[in-house]
Amino acid sequence: MTHATETLILGLLTGGVYALLASGLTLIFGVMNIINVAHGALLVLAGLLTFELWRRLGLDPIASAVVTTPVMFAVGWAIYRLFVARIRTAPVSMTVLLTFALAITLEGAMGLTWKNVFRSVTPGYVNQSFHLGPFFFPKAQVFGCLAAVAVLSGLWLLLTRTWAGRAIRAASQNPQGSALVGVDIRGVAALTFAIGVATTGAGGSILSVLYPLFPASHYLWISRLLGIVVLGGMGSLPGAVVGALILGVAEAFTATYVSTRWATVVFYLVILVVLLVRPQGLMGSRLRGDVVT
Amino acid sequence: MSAADGLRRAVIATAGLALAAYPLARPDDAYGQSVLIFAFLLAVMAGGWNIMAGFTGYVSIGQSAFLGIGAYTVALLSLRTGLSPLLLAPLGGAAAALVAAVLGATVMRAREHAFVIITIALLFLFQTLALNLEGITGGSNGLTLPLPTWDRDIQNLPFYYVMLGLLALSVLLSWWIRRTKFGMGLIAIREDEDKAAAIGVRTSAYKVLSFVASAVLIGVAGGVDAYFLTFIDPRGMFDILVSVQLVLAALVGGRGTIWGPVLGAFLVVPLNEASNNLAAAEGLHLLAFGLALGAVVMFLPHGLIPTVRAWWERRHPGPVPWERRAPATTAARVPAAAATPRRALLEVAGLAKRFGGVAAVDLCSFTVREGGLTGLIGPNGSGKTTTFNLVTGMLRSDDGSIRFDGRRIDQVLPWERAHLGLGRTFQVTRLFPRMTVLENLVAPLRGFSWSNLAADAVSGPEARRAEELLDLVGLAPLAAQPAGRLSFGQQKLAELAQVLMLEPRLVLLDEPAGGVNPGMIEHIAGLLLELNRQGITFLIVEHNMPMVLELCDPILVMARGRVIAEGPPAAVQRDPAVLDAYLGEGWGTASRADPSAPVEA
Amino acid sequence: MARDRWKLGWAVAVLVLIGSACSGGGGGQSSGESKEPITIGASLPLTGEFSQPGGAAKRGYDVWAEMVNEKGGILGRQVKLTILDDASEQNTVVADYNRLITRDKVDLLLGTFSSLLNLPASAVAERNRMVYVEPAGGAPAMFERGFHYLFFAQQATAPHQADVFVDWVKSLPAGQRPKTAAYPTQDDPFAKPVIDTMRKALEAAGVKTVYATVYPPETTNFDTIANTIKARNPDLVAQGAVFEDGVGLVRSLIKAGFSPQTLFQTSAPSNSDQYAKGVGEANTEGVFYTVSWSPEATYPLNQDFVRRYQQKYNQVPEEDAADAFAAAQVLQAGVKAVGEIDQDKIADWLHANKVDTILGPLSWDETGAPQSDFLLAQWQGGKSEIVLPKDVATTDNVVLPKPDWKQS
């Protein structure tokens, strides 16, 4: 029983962080119908930047989210203007290929800069846990989860309480209608993409202290994130949170009671089953291009 | 054309001979041979992908999974039976085809972005299965095959020729598919899947077949590759970078062309080799690869061959012969009066369709009788096009029944309705813009059968029939033009001819005169009368009142989702309910001064 | 559609012509001239997944070449290394070795890193009947093909890497011997066989297995595994680790608050500085591992190697670099003994004789699998000490049980 409860605790803590990581991906998809396959690579990039900050300045990694988030915002803006804007109207497969190309390019650039070596950020609390009875709550996981919740709340407030957020949501539902009421669609697209990538700043900083990072690890992250976003419903932020918690726990339980080897299969199976049976996921709106036949 | 044709053939023959003779000319060059072997392999994989993504429009980023499936099948069989993997390679193809068939049947339901994500997930899933099911696959240890048994002086030659042979097969397969009705159907699916279904293309079966065709040769190549490497493991055989590489090759060369993937492979492999040898810095290789892929997607999305061809054609525009054709017939403008009651061809009863809170079609009932042209008019938003969509199957009704020739077709899929004889044109024409007019006409399928699919689309009876129809509508000179280049009116004629290929019994025409000049309207009206005389029933939605009043009897009037009036033109013109629907209150009672003047809608 | 064929035809013809022209140019140097350098070709994963050990191996080869040339080379001729990058990819390593053999026409070959790459590469060498000494690649599959020209330059193949530890455990008095054990291992063709053989041997010796799991190489979160280990409470934890996962599991065990009496890990603890930094120096105390090489070992030339490496690269050599150096030593010994560059004679001699390397004396059976034992090492007082074999042991002390973690 203790074992199962501890597994649940670990799964929830992990899921909380996953929620932040997936939020940007689902936002970008919801508004722009673009699957940003480079999201994993951007996370790793942010994590490695955090590593540099920690290595050179001794900055606490979770706190350095304050730095990495604006940096990644700028990176996202640049990526949008330089690359994505050109092919906004292209078919989905082309945008997937472009973001894939971006992911590979980032992997190469990170390999050049940081070498293909595992990088870990190890502040004092990285090996410590809070103990409550027979249960342990790893400190890094707890701090990371709290930070993730904070950032997600900020994102939610941004989307629901600010004009920019409303513009983003309007543009996602009806681009032409929004344009007619004065929303600058192109600007909103750039803003959304940039915000989506900015979440990888905070997410990457948190990741850096939880897991060792390696340029090629982005494949694993994007697999997980795609699974979460598909389950939650592409475009739905609450869906991403729910999907992340469910899959975080599912992954933990599979790793514990079946085998760690089959833990990632959970994400792939979710992708297959959900997209075939209920493409809009748990909380998403019906995907465009739904098949009648 | 024949001089250029001859030159083309000569050049291809030369290239083919050069490749075939190369290892005989330089037998010691195992390195050069191995590079070419990889080029052949990539070309086979890119060619397979091209059938799925280039012809059918379903982009997969997990195509290399079939390489792994073929490789593992052949390796396991070879280790168990002791037979040479080269002999067993076709079984690798069979395994890949089987997996493609099963996957295709389940996965083809998804569209666009869902499909892409699914293929990525499948690739990783296969890799994980290969890793974890180590009892069967050897897991991360992989499988080792014994060294080839032939004389070491021959070295790579058998692999070289087998791969070259596979490459030839792959090109042949693509070329053959492209010329058949099957290929036309695939391209139709790519251009406009719903329209393809409306003209009788059984999209689900076509997609599965396309998937199988795209996988089978890759599976065979996998078996050969396993033997060439003498060692396979899950990472190498289910590698996403290989998938991306083959996509890059096909894109660079030209997606949807026959030789594009081959050209792309011959560019990508040597460049890959060169960058490996020059750039020993970590990550530079990946960086270059990512940049190349990104550049191709952004700046050369159609690939070299189509881009060069388009450039060439812009520089050397050719004249297109065109002559104005007289309308098909000037015979009596009045449709043959129907003395005896004709049987019901289409019976719609209580049809309903809601979108959220909006009832677009609300207990709509009407009957279309065989023979003659029935008009369907009504103000904007009355549900006419939605009704068409429900009748043809593009939308599923919420309630009510639809009977065609006595048979209930509510649950019947769109292509089957087309096979039963129900055709339809669209308000905004939906031809397949990148196919030629002739190809557009050959794409429709009257019935799903193997001989139909394999029928030659470029010559043969199907093409002849298409040419006849083009003659009928007056578009014969434009047969070789891409349909996207036709004027709107010409497109209307072409779409009509396309529907006629189905030999339909009932054709639903959605605003045939919309957006078309008066001369063309005459032409179309004449055609419709002629076709009607030949036995085709029409249900015409139109806003052009003179045309409707002249051509159609009876006329159905729809408003707010249901039929509110029905009858001969004169009666409908005066019906108060109709005037009310069109013009609002206050017009219902005032009689019009000139009953024959057009009622503006 | 017709024009594409035309375009392609020209493109292919041109490419083929260029290809032939290129291949014509790249003739290698002819061997056999008395004062011409001996060319030795190898491919290494300098980029990609295995780039870290690949880079270390390159440094090992380079140091060897430098030291050999200073002493006059082999058979009076200087050695010249040609090292290609296979980017950790199998297709590329096959092409690389084909190129080295048929285009560059090197005199001798040296192996690449990792069984995954050495498997196809050694097949190319065997087909061309060239001696292939590999520094890393001890997976059993390597030696099941009946190759004659293949030699593995470490003391034992993967399944036997931990025999020395198993023997040590069996030698313990009953009170100190572990009664239960957990075996987490990465799904790696090198690490996994080590743990699999160890587990079978220890089960036969009466040590009960309470937990065994295999995790994929990309696993970075070991909390769930640590949680389960804690729940099962084994005396011995033996992990098949590569590197980062070794550090990761220790961290997770610290977080979970569980410290086994004995901890054994493959490979990971041998990366001295990084391992100590990763787990915290105090937490290294008592960790066992087997390793093919130690910087303290007094085998001939070892101290020279360490000194030279430190001079050149400003760091203590990695095990992979030492293994590469040893592989080159094996090749050198064979050539020297035979007196000429004759692949068959070299292979025959190596099968029949022992070679002294910085890893100790190496000898092989007819499949190319080596016949000795790895070194058993343990971290003590912030340093790695060799515990077994006795003739190179750096300490008589053995830390048992492992002390508790220093942060919890």
pTM as predicted: 0.85
Q: Are strands C79-85 and C38-44 parallel, antiparallel or unpaired?
A: parallel
How many domains is chain A partitioned into structurally? Answer: 1
Q: What is the pLDDT of residue B271?
A: 86
In a domain, B588, yes or no: no
Measured in residues, chain C has a length of: 408
Angle between helices B461-473 and B518-533 (to 10 degrees): 130
pLDDT score of C6 more than 60:
no
Strand partners, B565: B557
Structure tokens at B483: 């349909």
In a domain, B42, yes or no: yes
Q: Considering chain C, what percentage of its residues have pLDDT values greater than 70?
A: 91
User: In this complex, is the C-beta atom of A90 within 8 Å of any C-beta atom belonging to chain B?
Assistant: yes
What domain range includes position A11? 2-215
Inter-chain contact A117–C214, Cβ cutoff 8 Å? no
CB A214 within 8 A of CB A119: yes
Chains sharing 3 or more CB pairs under 8 A with chain B: A, C
- Examine the domain organization and report whether C259 and C330 are in the same domain: no
- Examine the domain organization and report whether C182 and C285 are in the same domain: yes
Q: In whole angstroms, give the CA distance from residue B34 to residue B230.
A: 14
Q: Which residues of C touch B260 (CB under 8 A)?
A: 4
User: In this complex, is the C-beta atom of B300 within 8 Å of any C-beta atom belonging to chain A?
Assistant: no
Q: What is the pLDDT of residue C47?
A: 78
Residue B543 belongs to domain with CATH number: 3.40.50.300
pLDDT score of B328 more than 80:
no
Q: What is the pLDDT of residue B333?
A: 43
pLDDT score of B555 more than 60:
yes
Q: Considering chain A, what percentage of its residues have pLDDT values greater than 90?
A: 52
> Which residue of chain A has the CA closest to C45?
A116
Q: What is the mean pLDDT of chain A?
A: 88
Q: In whole angstroms, give the CA distance from residue A229 to residue A223.
A: 10
Q: In whole angstroms, give the CA distance from residue B492 to residue B433.
A: 13
Counting one residue from chain A and one from chain B, the pairs whose CB atoms sit within 8 A come to 154
Q: What is the pLDDT of residue B549?
A: 86
Structure tokens at B303: 């690939």
DSSP state of B321: -
Query: Model confidence at A287, in pLDDT bands (50, 70, 90)?
Result: very low
pLDDT score of A71 more than 90:
yes
What domain range includes position C82? 38-157+298-362
Q: Residue type at A195?
A: I
Q: Residue type at B221?
A: A
CB B408 within 8 A of CB B423: no
- Taking CA atoms, B525 is separated from B229, B502, B521, in Å, by 67, 20, 6
Chains sharing 3 or more CB pairs under 8 A with chain A: B, C
- Examine the domain organization and report whether B349 and B231 are in the same domain: no
How many domains is chain C partitioned into structurally? Answer: 2
Residues 209-248 of B with CB under 8 A from A: 240-241, 244, 247
Kindly report the backbone phi and psi dihedral angles of residue A144, in degrees, each rounded to the nearest multiple of 5, phi listed first.
Answer: -60, -45
Neighbour tally for B455: CB within 10 Å: 19
Q: Which residues of C touch B285 (CB under 8 A)?
A: 47-48, 87
pLDDT score of C23 more than 60:
no
Which of C17 and B48 is assigned the larger pLDDT? B48
How many angstroms separate the CA of residue A186 from the nearest CA in chain C? 38
How many angstroms separate the CA of residue C142 from the nearest CA in chain B? 8
Which of A30 and A243 is assigned the larger pLDDT? A243
Residue C317 belongs to domain with CATH number: 3.40.50.2300
Query: Model confidence at C408, in pLDDT bands (50, 70, 90)?
Result: very low
Which of A174 and C170 is assigned the larger pLDDT? C170
Inter-chain contact A260–C257, Cβ cutoff 8 Å? no
Inter-chain contact B122–A268, Cβ cutoff 8 Å? yes
What count of Cα atoms within 13 Å lies in the side-chain half-sphere of residue A59? Answer: 19
> Which residue of chain B has the CA closest to C147?
B147
Q: What is the pLDDT of residue C403?
A: 92
Q: In whole angstroms, give the CA distance from residue C120 to residue C141.
A: 11
Q: In whole angstroms, give the CA distance from residue A158 to residue A163.
A: 8
- Examine the domain organization and report whether C238 and C169 are in the same domain: yes
Q: In whole angstroms, give the CA distance from residue B63 to residue B244.
A: 9
In a domain, C144, yes or no: yes
Q: What is the pLDDT of residue B330?
A: 42
Q: Which residues of C touch A119 (CB under 8 A)?
A: none
Q: What is the pLDDT of residue B341?
A: 62
Residues 132-161 of A with CB under 8 A from B: none
In a domain, B330, yes or no: no
- Taking CA atoms, B516 is separated from B429, B521, B546, in Å, by 12, 6, 14
In a domain, C16, yes or no: no
Nearest to B210 by CA among B113, B302, B100: B100
Given phi > 0 = left and psi -120 to 50 = alpha, else beta, which region is C36?
beta
Inter-chain contact C119–B140, Cβ cutoff 8 Å? no
Query: Model confidence at B455, in pLDDT bands (50, 70, 90)?
Result: confident
- Examine the domain organization and report whether B54 and B177 are in the same domain: yes
Inter-chain contact A90–B301, Cβ cutoff 8 Å? yes
- Sorted by sequence, the CB contacts under 8 Å of residue B366 that are 6+ apart come out as B348, B556, B563, B566
> Which residue of chain B has the CA closest to A293?
B413
What domain range includes position B213? 29-240
pLDDT score of C262 more than 90:
yes
Q: What is the pLDDT of residue B514?
A: 85
Given phi > 0 = left and psi -120 to 50 = alpha, else beta, which region is C88?
left
Inter-chain contact C188–B312, Cβ cutoff 8 Å? no
Q: In whole angstroms, give the CA distance from residue B170 to residue B258.
A: 9
Q: In whole angstroms, give the CA distance from residue B524 to residue C341.
A: 88
Q: Which residues of A touch C (CB under 8 A)?
A: 2-3, 6-7, 10, 14, 111, 115-118, 120, 122, 126-129, 131, 136, 138-139, 141, 210-212, 214, 216-217, 219-220, 252, 255-256, 259-261, 264
- Taking CA atoms, C193 is separated from C53, C137, C179, in Å, by 20, 12, 22
Q: In whole angstroms, give the CA distance from residue B111 to residue B104.
A: 12
Alpha-carbon torsion (C392, C397, C401, C404), positive or negative: negative
Which of A291 and C158 is assigned the larger pLDDT? C158
Q: In whole angstroms, give the CA distance from residue B477 to residue A127.
A: 79
CB A223 within 8 A of CB A266: no
Q: Considering chain B, what percentage of its residues have pLDDT values greater than 70?
A: 92
In a domain, B336, yes or no: no
- Taking CA atoms, A28 is separated from A68, A84, B451, in Å, by 19, 12, 47
- Examine the domain organization and report whether C176 and C254 are in the same domain: yes
Q: Considering chain C, what percentage of its residues have pLDDT values greater than 90?
A: 59
- Examine the domain organization and report whether C272 and C285 are in the same domain: yes
Q: In whole angstroms, give the CA distance from residue B411 to residue B404.
A: 12
Nearest to B239 by CA among A263, A219, A214, A59: A219
pLDDT score of B291 more than 60:
yes
Q: In whole angstroms, give the CA distance from residue B255 to residue B253.
A: 7
Q: What is the pLDDT of residue C21?
A: 42
Which of B97 and B114 is assigned the larger pLDDT? B97
Q: In whole angstroms, give the CA distance from residue B409 to residue A270.
A: 35
Q: What is the mean pLDDT of chain C?
A: 87
Q: What is the mean pLDDT of chain B?
A: 86
Q: In whole angstroms, give the CA distance from residue B82 to residue B85.
A: 9
pLDDT score of B70 more than 90:
yes
Nearest to B126 by CA among B182, B80, B62, B206: B62
Query: Model confidence at C151, in pLDDT bands (50, 70, 90)?
Result: very high
Give the mean model confidence (pLDDT) for residues B277-285: 65
Q: Which of A10, A117, A220 sits opposite C223 (nearest CB)?
A: A10
In a domain, A246, yes or no: no
How many angstroms separate the CA of residue A138 from the nearest CA in chain C? 6
How many angstroms separate the CA of residue C391 from the nearest CA in chain B? 34
- Examine the domain organization and report whether C168 and C262 are in the same domain: yes
Q: What is the pLDDT of residue C16?
A: 52
ipTM value, please give it.
0.90
- Examine the domain organization and report whether C188 and C171 are in the same domain: yes
Inter-chain contact B281–A292, Cβ cutoff 8 Å? no
- Examine the domain organization and report whether B411 and B541 are in the same domain: yes
- Examine the domain organization and report whether C151 and C255 are in the same domain: no
pLDDT score of B154 more than 80:
no
How many angstroms separate the CA of residue A115 from the nearest CA in chain C? 8
How many angstroms separate the CA of residue C8 from the nearest CA in chain B? 6
Least confident of A194-208, B347-361, B452-466, C334-348: B452-466
- Examine the domain organization and report whether B219 and B354 are in the same domain: no
Query: Model confidence at A292, in pLDDT bands (50, 70, 90)?
Result: very low
* H or E element, residue B537: strand B537-541
Q: What is the pLDDT of residue B596?
A: 56
Angle at A234 between CA A222 and CA B102, to 5 degrees: 75
- Sorted by sequence, the CB contacts under 8 Å of residue A219 that are 6+ apart come out as A40, B124, B240, C218
> C188-202, pLDDT tens digit by residue?
888 999 999 999 999
Which of C222 and B5 is assigned the larger pLDDT? C222
Query: Model confidence at B332, in pLDDT bands (50, 70, 90)?
Result: very low
How many domains is chain B partitioned into structurally? Answer: 2
Residue carrying structure tokens 């929620």: A19
- Sorted by sequence, the CB contacts under 8 Å of residue B441 that are 6+ apart come out as B466, B469, B470, B494, B497, B498, B501
In a domain, A68, yes or no: yes
Query: Model confidence at A208, in pLDDT bands (50, 70, 90)?
Result: very high
Q: What is the pLDDT of residue C384?
A: 86
Q: Are strands C355-357 and C236-239 parallel, antiparallel or unpaired?
A: unpaired
Structure tokens at B50: 């091209």
Structure tokens at A198: 């900015």
> B379-416, pLDDT tens digit by residue?
888 888 889 999 998 888 888 999 998 899 988 999 99
In a domain, C74, yes or no: yes
Q: Which residues of B touch A103 (CB under 8 A)?
A: 290
Give the mean model confidence (pLDDT) for residues A86-105: 88
- Examine the domain organization and report whether C381 and C240 are in the same domain: yes
A118, A121, A143: best to mutate for the C interface, most C CBs within 10 A: A118
In a domain, B23, yes or no: no
Nearest to B239 by CA among C87, A96, A109: C87
Q: Which residues of A touch B414 (CB under 8 A)?
A: 293
pLDDT score of B600 more than 90:
no
- Examine the domain organization and report whether C222 and C340 are in the same domain: no
Give the mean model confidence (pLDDT) for residues B197-225: 93
Q: Where are the beta strands (DSSP E) in C249-368?
A: 262-265, 288-291, 355-357, 360-362
> C206-224, pLDDT tens digit by residue?
999 999 999 988 888 899 9
Q: In whole angstroms, give the CA distance from residue B276 to residue B284.
A: 9
Residue carrying structure tokens 């011997």: C177
In a domain, A21, yes or no: yes
In a domain, C4, yes or no: no
